[in-house]
């Protein structure tokens, strides 16, 4: 007798993000009561890119929610590398600033690598500085990029086994792909990293019990890429507005998504085709509502960690 397969269970990031923020809130208040000091995050936004502005607003709002003091440094797109370096260096020297983030991408003409490397590694709450990347690769304590760290929190919260599993990471960026591969290796997974040059990508990804996708291509990963019952973590965040694309990506849920498009002009989708993945995977992160929420929560956790380190050395 053939029975209809149950669709993948959604790994909602909301509950995990709420728990992390609650823990940070409690520890921040304990720090304030014990020492009178409140952690501070300085966010630097260059230019007027709408998406970057939204991301920074969300981070500032999260600071308010957990009791972290925040500073928003909004700079014109015309600013040069030297001027931006001057601000970063000034923030480095301030004892009342624990974390510094420069919202990426930076406008053309600014040396992004130089700016990242100028941030004091002990205030690098994004975890992008080469010192922190090197420590992560060596398995030493470091500031870990927020999205990979959030993925591990999500897996642990849902009691998903990492040890001895076959894991595949699609994407090799310094922000997600490489650091999550390092974290999974440190948890004793057998890890394969794929990218745009990988031959027969589907043949490789189908071997994975745990599939992390962060390649930046709308709905690229379909049913043929996924091992039946696999855990699929979709890190992508892409905008879709055409009706045909929405229907192809969301299947039975397309009508609700089209309502979103009618109101907002677009709907969000990851790098995984959600309708196809739901038919094959055992567990799947939704977009939105999955990994993105955890990224901001882990930024709060990293800022608190930086403040603890600075206060212990004061």
Are the C-beta atoms of residues 237 and 275 closer than 8 Å to each other? no
Confirm whether 126 is a catalytic residue. Answer: yes
Place of tokens 């992160």: 285
Question: Which structure tokens are listed for 208?
Answer: 């994975």
Active-site pick, 103, 123, 182, 209: 103
Active-site pick, 21, 59, 227, 305: 59
Cα angle 171, 172, 178 (rounded to 5 degrees) comes to 120
Alpha helices in the chain (DSSP H): 14-35, 50-66, 81-93, 112-118, 130-138, 146-157, 177-186, 201-205, 243-250, 254-264, 274-280, 291-313
Q: Using CA atoms, how far apart are residues 127 and 133, in angstroms rounded to an integer?
A: 7
Confirm whether 59 is a catalytic residue. Answer: yes
Tell me, letter by letter, the H, E, C secondary structure of 38-79. CCEEEEEEECCCHHHHHHHHHHHHHHHHHCCEEEEEEECCCC
Peptide bond into 103 cis (omega under 30): no
Q: Using CA atoms, how far apart are residues 76 and 48, in angstroms rounded to an integer?
A: 7
Active-site pick, 98, 124, 126, 209: 126
Confirm whether 103 is a catalytic residue. Answer: yes
Question: Which structure tokens are listed for 270?
Answer: 């990851």
Determine how many CB atoms are found less than 10 A away from the CB of residue 260: 14
Residues designated as active site: 59, 103, 126
């Amino acid at each position: 007798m053939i029975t209809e397969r149950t669709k993948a269970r959604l790994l909602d990031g909301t509950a995990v993000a709420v728990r992390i923020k609650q823990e940070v809130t409690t520890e921040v208040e304990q720090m304030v009561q014990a020492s009178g000091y409140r952690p501070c995050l300085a966010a630097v936004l260059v230019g007027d890119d709408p998406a970057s502005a939204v991301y920074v607003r969300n981070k500032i709002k999260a600071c308010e929610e957990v009791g972290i003091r925040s500073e928003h440094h909004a700079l014109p797109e015309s600013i040069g590398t030297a001027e931006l370096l001057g601000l970063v260096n000034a923030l480095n020297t301030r004892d009342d600033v624990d974390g510094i983030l420069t919202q990426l991408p930076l406008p053309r003409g600014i040396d992004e690598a130089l700016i990242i490397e100028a941030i004091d590694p002990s205030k690098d709450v994004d975890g992008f500085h080469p010192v922190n990347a090197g420590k992560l690769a060596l398995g030493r304590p470091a500031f870990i990029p927020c999205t990979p760290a959030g993925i591990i929190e999500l897996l642990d919260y849902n009691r998903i086994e990492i040890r001895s599993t076959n894991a595949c990471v699609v994407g090799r960026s310094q922000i997600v792909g490489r650091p999550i591969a390092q974290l999974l290796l440190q948890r004793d997974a057998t890890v394969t990293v794929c990218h745009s040059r990988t031959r027969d990508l589907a043949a490789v990804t189908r071997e994975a019990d745990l599939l992390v996708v962060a390649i930046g291509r709308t709905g690229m990963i379909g049913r043929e890429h996924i091992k039946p019952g696999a855990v699929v973590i979709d890190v992508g965040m892409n905008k879709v507005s055409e009706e045909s694309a929405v229907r192809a990506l969301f299947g039975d849920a397309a009508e609700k998504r089209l309502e979103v498009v009618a109101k907002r002009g677009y709907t969000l989708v990851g790098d995984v085709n959600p309708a196809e993945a739901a038919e094959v995977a055992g567990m799947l992160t939704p977009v939105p509502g999955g990994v993105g929420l955890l990224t901001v929560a882990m930024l709060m956790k990293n800022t608190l960690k930086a403040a603890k380190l600075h206060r212990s050395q004061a």
